[in-house]
């Protein structure tokens, strides 16, 4: 709840804006209403608008223009405008792919040394416009933009701090990767080349309060070697070398998890052989992407049985390989043969008596 009193209203009037949009998150004092009326500022109640939808009062952290000239220049540059458009487009894709529910998810990218562009809080990522984005520093202090920055920016900042290669970060709550997040299972490797090369091992970070310094610490540790991290009981955070690349990691991660979940309803299970894994990792190293397995020998790469990982260790009553139609038809005649042999022996024994 944000209280708009006479003082806040006067500050707002000074920005020159002629419309004050608010919703039930705002409480306007009668004095504030008088100030708006006298100044000819129209009050617009917009229920769908999130809490910070109204232009921020001058002097508040979310004031429209950036404080310093350099920041203002950066904020209004064509490069920033281009990145804002890219972030809105990736938000639209995340929403279309059902990766973000309600107002969930957030995207950011680097703008310059200690300057970042990020999405606002309280808005569907599928319907953002460039004017909604925010500029912040590495400590999350908002420097420009009329909307309040995402509350989860510090998880993004942790990646920028620990991983100089990260240009952009995306966070969402996609359902298939989310299934792994709520089961506390790290998706196993060795199943699909696309993931091995373009994402690598998906890391798993235990649950910490969203946006907290503890969450940031967990992300900080894992980001240099993992471009995709499942956050326990929460969602996924990915980084990339461009805004679209960060989004791609999200898409590949969720697709991979979706395939595993569907595959579990089928019998059997195979994995990429050791040599295949070595080849994929060589290819990946050539592209210059990070991976924590470059030092492993082929045999070590094949040590993980992906299907045992998914089904074996978390109370699954039927190991995936338990039902194998091929071996079932092979063993059945053998058992039958043994039975026939045993019966024949019995009969012969009885006959000879």
Nearer to Zn ion, 60 or 212 (CB): 212
Report residue 160 as tokens.
Answer: 């920028």
- What are the catalytic residues? 152
95/105 Cα distance (integer angstroms): 9
- To the nearest 10°, report the CA torsion of 223, 229, 235, 241: 60
Q: DSSP assignment, residue 187?
A: P
* Min dist. Cβ of residue 152 to Zn ion (A): 6
Q: Which of residues 232-271 bind Zn ion (CB under 5 A)?
A: 235
**C-alpha neighbours within 13 Å on the C-beta side of residue 181:** 22
* Min dist. Cβ of residue 247 to Zn ion (A): 15
* Min dist. Cβ of residue 337 to Zn ion (A): 60
**What is the secondary structure of 24-88 as a DSSP string?**
TTEEE-HHHHHHHHHHTPEEEE-TTS-GGGSPPPTTSTT-SS-SSHHHHHHHTSHHHHHHHHHHH
Q: Which of residues 207-236 bind Zn ion (CB under 5 A)?
A: 235
339/105 Cα distance (integer angstroms): 62
Torsion sign, CA atoms 328, 330, 334, 339: positive
Nearer to Zn ion, 207 or 289 (CB): 207
184 near 167, Cβ under 8 Å?
no
* Min dist. Cβ of residue 258 to Zn ion (A): 19
* Min dist. Cβ of residue 177 to Zn ion (A): 12
Q: Which residues pair with 106 in a beta bridge?
A: 171
By Cβ distance, which residue is nearest to Zn ion? 235
Closest of 319, 202, 322 to residue 258, by C-alpha: 202
Measured N-to-C along each axis, helices 213-222 and 153-162 cross at an angle, to the nearest 10 degrees, of 30
Nearer to Zn ion, 178 or 235 (CB): 235
Nearer to Zn ion, 6 or 103 (CB): 103
Nearer to Zn ion, 55 or 91 (CB): 91
Q: Which residues would be at the binding site for Zn ion (CB under 5 A)?
A: 235
């Amino acid at each position: 709840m944000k209280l708009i009193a006479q003082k806040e209203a006067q500050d707002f009037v000074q920005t020159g804006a002629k419309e004050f949009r608010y919703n039930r998150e705002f409480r306007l004092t009668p004095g504030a209403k008088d100030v708006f009326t006298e100044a000819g500022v129209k009050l617009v109640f917009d229920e769908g608008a999130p809490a910070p939808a109204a232009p921020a009062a001058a002097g508040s952290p979310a004031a429209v223009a950036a404080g310093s000239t350099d920041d203002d220049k950066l904020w209004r540059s064509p490069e920033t405008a281009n990145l804002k458009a890219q972030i809105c487009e990736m938000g639209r894709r995340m929403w279309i792919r059902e990766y973000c529910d309600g107002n969930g998810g957030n995207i950011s990218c680097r703008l310059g040394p200690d300057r970042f562009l990020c999405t606002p809080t309280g808005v569907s990522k599928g319907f953002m416009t460039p004017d909604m984005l925010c500029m912040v520093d590495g400590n999350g202090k908002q420097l420009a933009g009329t909307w309040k920055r995402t509350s989860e920016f510090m998880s993004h900042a942790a990646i920028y701090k620990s991983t100089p290669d990260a240009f952009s970060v995306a966070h969402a709550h996609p359902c298939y990767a989310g299934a792994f997040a709520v089961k506390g299972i790290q998706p196993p490797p060795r199943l699909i080349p696309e993931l091995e090369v373009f994402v690598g091992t998906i890391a798993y970070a235990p649950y910490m309060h969203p946006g907290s310094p503890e969450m940031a610490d967990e992300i900080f540790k894992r980001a240099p070697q993992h471009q995709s991290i499942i956050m326990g009981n929460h969602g996924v955070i990915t980084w990339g070398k461009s805004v679209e690349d960060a989004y791609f990691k999200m898409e590949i991660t969720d697709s991979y998890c979706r395939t595993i979940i569907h595959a579990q309803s089928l019998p059997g299970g195979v994995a990429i052989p050791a040599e295949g894994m070595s080849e994929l990792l060589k290819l990946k190293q050539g592209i210059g992407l990070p991976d924590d397995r470059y030092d492993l020998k082929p045999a070590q790469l094949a040590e993980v049985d992906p299907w045992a990982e998914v089904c074996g260790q978390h109370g699954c009553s039927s190991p995936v390989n338990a039902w194998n139609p091929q071996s079932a038809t092979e063993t059945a005649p053998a058992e039958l043969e043994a039975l026939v042999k045993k019966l024949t022996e019995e009969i012969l024994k009885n006959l000879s008596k």
